[in-house]
């Protein structure tokens, strides 16, 4: 087998990030520090919220968003997501309830959410899939109607907008900086919100329950004084990773634009070759930033074989998300499915994720399309 001639994803790390890391290493200030503050300020301004807090992962951001509100009831989430979405709910002490998604956008809708609401429902986590925002107007109205906390799993939509407004600014926004995402810190995430009290509690929870950071205490009269106001975690992001993120963020718009151009090239090539797959549908009002480019196989039972053939020919294709969360062992054994999930199960069996990253050349993309034609058109 030819391994990864054209990888599924590849982070765009350049000179600025490398020099910033070296500066941090030479400074000796490796833990939470100056670059965390810079990244948080820039990110909050970009999203359009009062607070952005860097941490070790989007999963932690989701968990703490539930925990700071004291939610122990039901949290409605799509099963068509990475398992981290459900893990965050369980580890926060709440109960996940799985809802279905739209077959075309792969996103939850207000209709799917409402079908799962019970008197025990306390929150909703919408997952903006693959770079495209959910249709937020109806979801916001639904959450207001039933008085549900709205949390956005925006791991895959950094820089995407719904009707001109950034994802992660409608509710509590949770973002991922994993290497496959639209910007990266290696491992890391951020939470965005407008509530001062929520932000203060989250800042304490990520740092052992202590409300001030070492960096913030540096010039205090007693910088060694640390008093926990709650039982917290160590969910902090280091100054090293924040330095990478600070310079990655400066390139976010450019990298997203490059992804959008590549997606259009994919769209046109798939149509030109008459490949038996359905391209992503972008709904009116949404900007899609293509954290993933996924196509739906229109011939049932061919998906797995085609993915293996793409691998054999050097294309690093993959599958997201099979199995969906409700069919994974832990959740299958411990949580009953209350709502039918036909679209979720169909998508899990028929989607293929194709290579997508800003530095992917048109020449390499042509190779992917040619190999897809060879594999799929007999």
Q: What is the pLDDT of residues 295-307, one digit of tens each?
A: 999 877 799 999 9
Q: Quick one: pLDDT at residue 215? A: 59
Is residue 214's pLDDT more than 80? no
Which is more confidently placed, 66 or 1?
66
Q: Quick one: pLDDT at residue 238? A: 97
Q: What is the pLDDT of residues 280-323, one digit of tens each?
A: 999 999 999 999 999 999 877 799 999 999 999 999 999 999 99
Full 3-state SS string of 251-313: CHHHHHHHHHHHHHHHHHHHHHCCCCEECCCCCCCECCCCCCEEEEECCCCCHHHHHHHHHHC
- Measured distance CA(104)–CA(47) in Å, rounded: 26
Q: Quick one: pLDDT at residue 272? A: 97
Q: Quick one: pLDDT at residue 211? A: 76
Q: What is the pLDDT of residues 90-144, one digit of tens each?
A: 999 999 999 999 999 999 999 999 999 999 999 999 999 999 999 999 999 999 9
Domain boundaries, the chain: 15-251, 253-376
pTM for this one?
A: 0.95
Is residue 216's pLDDT more than 60? no
Q: What is the pLDDT of residues 235-261, one digit of tens each?
A: 999 999 999 999 999 999 999 999 999
Is residue 28's pLDDT more than 80? yes
**15-251 sits in which CATH class?**
alpha beta
CATH number of 253-376: 3.90.1150.10
- Measured distance CA(349)–CA(352) in Å, rounded: 9
187 contacts: CB under 8 Å, gap ≥ 6: 56, 57, 177, 178, 241
What band does 213 get if pLDDT is binned at 50, 70 and 90?
A: low
Provide mean pLDDT across the span 315-335.
97
**Phi, psi angle pair for 314, to nearest 5°:** 90, 10
Q: What is the pLDDT of residues 43-79, one digit of tens each?
A: 999 999 999 999 999 999 999 999 999 999 999 999 9
Q: Quick one: pLDDT at residue 301? A: 77
């Amino acid at each position: 087998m030819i391994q990864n001639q054209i990888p599924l994803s590849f982070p765009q790390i350049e000179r600025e990030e490398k020099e910033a890391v070296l500066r941090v290493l030479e400074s000796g200030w490796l833990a939470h520090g100056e670059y965390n503050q810079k990244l948080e300020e820039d990110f909050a301004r970009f999203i359009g919220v009062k607070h952005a807090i860097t941490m070790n992962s989007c999963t932690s951001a989701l968990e703490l968003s539930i925990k700071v509100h004291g939610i122990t009831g039901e949290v409605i989430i799509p099963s068509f997501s990475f398992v981290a979405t459900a893990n965050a709910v369980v580890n926060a002490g709440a109960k996940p309830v799985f809802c279905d998604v739209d077959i075309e956008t792969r996103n939850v809708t207000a209709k799917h959410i409402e079908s799962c609401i019970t008197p025990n429902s306390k929150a909703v986590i919408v997952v903006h899939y693959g770079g495209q925002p959910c249709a937020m107007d109806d979801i916001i109205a639904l959450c207001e109607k039933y008085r549900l906390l709205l949390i956005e799993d925006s791991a895959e939509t950094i820089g995407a907008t719904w009707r001109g407004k950034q994802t992660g600014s409608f509710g509590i926004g949770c973002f991922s900086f994993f290497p496959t995402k639209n910007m990266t810190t290696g491992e890391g995430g951020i939470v965005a919100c407008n509530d001062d009290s929520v932000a203060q509690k989250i800042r304490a929870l990520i740092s052992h329950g202590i409300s001030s950071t070492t960096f913030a205490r540096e010039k205090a009269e007693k910088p060694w004084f640390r008093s926990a106001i709650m039982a917290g975690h160590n969910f902090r992001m280091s100054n090293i990773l924040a330095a990478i993120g600070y310079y990655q963020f400066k390139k976010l718009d450019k990298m997203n634009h490059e992804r959008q151009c590549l997606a259009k090239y994919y769209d046109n090539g798939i149509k030109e070759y008459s490949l038996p797959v359905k391209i992503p549908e972008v709904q009116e009002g949404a900007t899609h930033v293509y954290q993933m480019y996924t196509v739906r196989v229109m011939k049932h039972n061919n998906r797995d074989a085609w993915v293996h053939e793409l691998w054999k020919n050097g294309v690093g294709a993959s599958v997201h998300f099979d199995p969906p969360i409700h069919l994974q062992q832990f959740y299958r054994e411990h949580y009953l499915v209350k709502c039918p999930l036909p679209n979720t199960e169909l998508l899990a069996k028929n989607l293929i994720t194709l290579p997508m990253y800003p530095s992917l050349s048109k020449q390499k993309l042509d190779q992917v399309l040619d190999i897809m034609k060879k594999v799929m058109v007999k």
